[in-house]
Amino acid sequence: MLVKSIRPWDLSESMVTPEHVFINRRQFLAASAATASLGLIGGGTALAAGDADPTLDLYPAKKNEAYTIKRDLTPERVNANYNNFYEFGSQKGVAAACQALETRPWEVTFDGEVETAFKIGIDELIRKMSLEERLYRHRCVEAWSMTVPWTGFALKDLVALAKPLSSAKYLEMKTFMNPDVAGGQRATWYPWPYTEGLTIEEATNDLAFMVTGAYGKPAAKQFGAPLRLAVPWKYGFKSIKSIVKFTFTSKRPKSFWEDLAPAEYGFWANVNPEVPHRRWSQATEKVLGTNHRVPTVLYNGYGDQVADLYKDMKSEPLFM
């Protein structure tokens, strides 16, 4: 339902929660309760509590001055306590639950249409890359935004490492699957594991960034440690967290939200203030950590870098 009579700044969180989510909230609460009663136990050999992240020496990384912004940074304590990570629940306060995720050992698979499929441990992968800090805007489809100092490396460097064949037109990414740790994954009505996709042209655009850290240190688990995407010209749901697999393919991947609610969420999901979501306006955004609501900008302000990617695609639903 598109709520036209209500001003955007009157939107409560429940109004921008996807319909299927609140329809299923009762089921979800039951699943969460089951998780809590079982306790959250991780698998594999984890970093013991208090162990330093094995890549800690790489932080803080040098700032790339090409990626700065005029807005104030969102304070870390605000960002770290207001997250979307449905594997751990559909509410924003998932930070504590996320700490059950064991991010070492963490193996990343590259397969599909590549010269040779391979797996690599996250620490070896990170050390092959050149880490830098970039300040990026982030615009969630739910009409809130933040500004984050991410650390990581260009996704195009990862694509080069994977050596895709010329037949590969898309890059599909998948999150871990472990319902014992991530109680939200017991909610069977979601198409787990969380999946996202980009065209190869998008994935090799300079702006597409693989995040390993934030605020000058390895990324907190709720931010999508140990490896998360940041594609700031797209709605935030494209920026998949805690990735374990990259598949190069000639077939367009179907992403998590697109699979669940295709009338509301599409493959492209480029930010556009003039194309409302079916149930709310996208004209403005609430800036996290402030009382301000500001106008949303086409491609979230990154049009100079990305608009050309879409110049011959006018018939595609580029903005949902």
Interface with ligand MTE, residue 175, by CB under 6 A: yes
Interface with ligand MTE, residue 241, by CB under 6 A: yes
Interface with ligand MTE, residue 87, by CB under 6 A: yes
In the chain, what is the straight-line distance between the N-terminal and C-terminal CA atoms, in Å? 15
DSSP-derived secondary structure for 176-236: ---TTT-GGGG-TTS-SSPEEEEEHHHHTSTT-EEEEEETTEEPPGGGTTT-EEE-TTB-G
- How far is residue 160's CA from residue 227's CA, in Å, rounded to a whole number? 17
Interface with ligand MTE, residue 239, by CB under 6 A: yes
Total residues interacting with ligand MTE, rule: CB under 6 A: 15
- How far is residue 57's CA from residue 34's CA, in Å, rounded to a whole number? 39
Closest approach, Cβ 152 to ligand MTE, in A, equals 13
* Sole binder of ligand MTE in the list 135, 168, 240, 269 (CB under 6 A): 240
Nearer to ligand MTE, 140 or 198 (CB): 140
* Sole binder of ligand MTE in the list 110, 192, 209, 237 (CB under 6 A): 237
Interface with ligand MTE, residue 83, by CB under 6 A: yes
Answer yes or no: are the C-beta atoms of 16 and 279 closer than 8 Å.
Answer: yes
- Look at the chain and count its residues: 320
- How far is residue 87's CA from residue 107's CA, in Å, rounded to a whole number? 19
- Asked whether the CA dihedral 300, 275, 238, 286 is positive or negative, the reply is positive
Interface with ligand MTE, residue 170, by CB under 6 A: no
Nearer to ligand MTE, 237 or 302 (CB): 237
Closest approach, Cβ 84 to ligand MTE, in A, equals 4
Interface with ligand MTE, residue 136, by CB under 6 A: no
Interface with ligand MTE, residue 153, by CB under 6 A: no
Interface with ligand MTE, residue 194, by CB under 6 A: yes
* Sole binder of ligand MTE in the list 218, 236, 253, 276 (CB under 6 A): 236
Residue of this chain nearest to ligand MTE (CB atom): 236
- How far is residue 155's CA from residue 207's CA, in Å, rounded to a whole number? 8
Nearer to ligand MTE, 67 or 86 (CB): 86
- How far is residue 201's CA from residue 192's CA, in Å, rounded to a whole number? 26
Which residues of this chain interact with ligand MTE, rule CB under 6 A? Answer: 83-87, 140, 175, 194, 223, 236-237, 239-242
